[in-house]
Chains A and B, each alone.
Chain A
Amino acid sequence: MNALEIKELSFSYDGVTNVVDNITFSLEKGKFVSIIGHNGSGKSTLAKLIIGLLTKKSGSIRVFECELDEKSVKDIRKKIGIVFQNPDNQFIATTVEDDIAFGLENNQISQQKMVELVNEFALKVGMEKFMNKEPANLSGGQKQRVAIAGVLAMMPNIVIFDEATSMLDPKGKADIRELIKNMRKNNPEMTVLSITHDIEEAFLTDEVIVMNEGKLIRQGTPLEVFADREVLKEISLSEPFFLELRNKLLVEGYQVDKCESLEDLMEYLCQ
């Protein structure tokens, strides 16, 4: 079953240029998919279309086989959780605890269950010691963890991360990556869509969608997509360190063309 089906979708802010331009793809339920592309490629606009924050110009969006329109948007939003880039725009309550609980309060579950869930997800994102703190006084990365806990606690069928880890330090990023991994292990039906610039992050997902100037230019496994240097060049994402070092060493006359990893390069240089 497809969690999401996008067909010939277009959107324009000014009525002239299509920021999302005739995009078609589908996401299988339970998949972890990343969308990469540079700023302005239309990635975030696409996310906003999927949750109904923006209205399409043409085409169709189906979430679990239900067409997204004015009538269905409310129900569909219950199925989708989104974490945005800037955590400051996502806070409502005066304490971390209340903020994580906020979405749950709208979901008609018992008080006891709610407390359990709030504690569970605070622990999962490593914010359990901050329950009574005011979100405004947390650091950017800490705020983002609280926002992620709030979204995940509602157990959405589809979770969209829109550059959600870009504010975190390397350890914070690794923690969230681990968290997503565990979430998917516990709930294999959860579909995750990650919008990112982080090649390392995209490399760990099941599938990569590449966007450029509003168009979908490539979809495939990370290996299929990243092996093509032309694609990375086209969307101006940098090469991994290993490839950059190897290419520069080649230019300097070192015969490292057969090296396949940093370890290989090291062995070659130490001969």
Chain B
Amino acid sequence: MRVARGFNGVLMPIKVENLFHTYALKTPFQSEAVNGVSFEIEDHAYVAFIGPTGSGKTTIIQHLNALLKPTKGTIVVDDFVIDNKKNKKIKELRKHVGVVFQFPEYQLFEETVEKDVAFGPKNFGLKDEEALQKAHRALLSVGLDESYFKRSPFELSGGERRRVAIAGILAIEPDILVLDEPTAGLDPRGTTEIMNLVDKMHKNGTMVILVSHDMELVLKYAEKVFVVKDGKILFEGTPQGAFMNLDESSGIEVPEIFTFAQKLKKRGFDIDFEKIKNIDDLILQISINKEKRS
């Protein structure tokens, strides 16, 4: 467990104020992706950014490790300030904030799996041996055993490559982990493995910021969601709150578990929606109602 931190003694390691981002400013391709977004994220939180394709979710989170710089506004992550001026200490920032991009497996390049994963720690100044140690630990944590260490990433399957890429970020041991659609294209088994791993990291104190279209995962894991549409934050609250308060125009597809619970409610069941995160919770709510009735 890492030490609680934050600026001015407040445990709010991420503070984004009035963020605007315009791509290809002053060219014919100019397009506004983020239009004045402000939010804070608490230490150790597990939050999700949800919303339709093209809503600006990815653009927002790419500011958190200064991959993108704001057109206007500021981002504060711990003691680091990211604005549209020249920023110092970006390398230092990226040790804290690990971002797993969409389809990270396409960015693998080394000849062996262990070298690829060790690249990050080495880049941050660790000696070869230490970096390899961290790489091995990260690989084991994503479920890739020793037999994978010396193989070429290019002969692995898509799901295995995804895990190698995620291990590459874990090896840096960031205390803020940002994942952009980490399960897109993975089969259910791969999805469960990755999400269990992320959950474990969260329980060990890592802040998790997830971007996902998979509302079942969001319901299951996220403590809080930010619903993004047209570059603005439309809603901020629990996933359950989002599912109850938003209509179709938000582009959010309510999970079947939740729809079923809503129908039960209409039929006179007393449902505590905030308690429903998975199918077992739903069945518990049903049982409570049934017991009351009999």
Chain A contact residues, CB within 8 Å of chain B:
13-14, 37-41, 44, 85-86, 88-89, 132-134, 137-142, 163, 166-172, 197, 235-238, 241, 244-245, 248-249, 252, 262, 266, 269-270
Contact = CB atoms under 8 A, between A and B. Distances in A.
B58 A139 contact: yes
Contacts of A169: 52-53, 213, 251, 253
Contacts of B29: 132-134, 137
A269 B287 contact: no
B2 interface: no
12 contacts: A39-B158, A39-B186, A44-B157, A88-B103, A139-B55, A169-B213, A171-B53, A241-B257, A241-B279, A249-B286, A269-B264, A270-B268
B53 A252 contact: no
A169 B264 CA distance: 27
Contacts of A170: 213, 251, 253
Interface of B: 23-24, 28-29, 31, 52-55, 58, 102-103, 106, 155-160, 162, 181, 184-190, 213, 251, 253, 256-257, 260, 263-264, 267-268, 279-280, 282-283, 286-287, 290
Given A140-B102, A167-B185, 9 more contacts: A40-B159, A89-B106, A166-B185, A168-B53, A169-B52, A171-B253, A172-B53, A241-B257, A245-B283
Given A14-B155, A171-B251, A248-B280, A241 B256 contact: yes
Contacts of A166: 184-185
Contacts of A132: 28-29
A244 B264 CA distance: 17
B31 A133 contact: yes
Given A89-B106, A244-B279, A197 B53 contact: no
A142 B102 CA distance: 14
B117 to A, nearest CB: 19
B188 A237 contact: yes
Contact of A39 (B58, B155, B157, B257): B157
Contacts of A163: 158, 185
Contact of A137 (B24, B106, B158): B24
B157 A141 contact: no
A237 B187 contact: yes
